[in-house]
Chains A and B, each alone.
Chain A
């Protein structure tokens, strides 16, 4: 993976190995699926749509009623955009993606949502804060998701190194 600034667009250029693109496309499709579930059916959703009030369930429920669908839609759109950008028909070895500032934001938020879901799935977001969240993975699947979590963080960190938040369109 290579991330560089896309000066003309005010965004980033991301060059992915085809395996990396396939992985992102697969995850993006899964994030869309997770976001299509009803509220409170999946603990990861509670982290993506958290309470807006600490001690006021009624106010939090009201807030969620007014905001959740729009938030879910923009998160789904962001995931779908990543899925579409990384889904390639033929195997050309690399996938070259150029994003403007707005599209870069979509990627950043998608990568955040993906990491939150992976964190919830692998116990990084346990209710009891763990002093050392990077404990030995219990299963092969957990190990795989932890590695993906780290890699997705690396992709996001690389994007943040070249993006300029003052770059308004």
Chain B
């Protein structure tokens, strides 16, 4: 599990690299199983979000059914989705303009 606690560089949509190409997004979906505290914990640990931001995103997942948690190139988003699946969260990726 050691590789899953590294902090990745979460690219912001304003990154120069993603200005030229259409960015992709990582979406986490709500499910009836995962504890809200666990989802927030994953967001804090994996993405390095501050507590309030992680809880804000977790509540968005819970209340709206899904939330965009990262934006960037496709390869990075695939890595994030694989990591989320490793934590047992439902996650998908798609082009930001879809």
**A residues neighboring B (CB under 8 Å):** 48-54, 63, 67, 70-71, 74-75, 77-78, 101-102, 105-106, 108-109, 112-113, 115-116, 119, 124-125, 129, 133, 153, 156-157, 160-161, 163, 165-166, 168-169
Cβ of B21 within 8 Å of any chain A Cβ, yes or no, is no
Whole-angstrom distance from the CB of A150 to the nearest CB of chain B?
A: 11
| Given A67-B85, A112-B87, A115-B33, also A54-B1 (CB < 8 A) | no
| Given A54-B94, A119-B33, also A163-B41 (CB < 8 A) | yes
Question: Within 8 Å CB of B94, what residues of A?
Answer: 53-54
Counted as pairs of residues, one from A and one from B, with CB atoms less than 8 Å apart, the total is 90
Are A112 and B41 interface neighbours, CB within 8 A?
A: no
Are B93 and A52 interface neighbours, CB within 8 A?
A: yes
A52, A54, A119, A153 — most chain B CB neighbours (10 Å): A52
**B residues neighboring A (CB under 8 Å):** 1-2, 4-5, 7, 31-35, 37-38, 41, 44-45, 78, 81-82, 85-88, 90-94
Which 3 residue pairs across A and B have the least CB separation, nearest first?
A: A112-B88, A165-B44, A165-B45
Cross-chain contact of B4 among A105, A129, A156 (Cβ < 8 A): A105
Question: Within 8 Å CB of A115, what residues of B?
Answer: 33-34
Question: Within 8 Å CB of B92, what residues of A?
Answer: 50-54
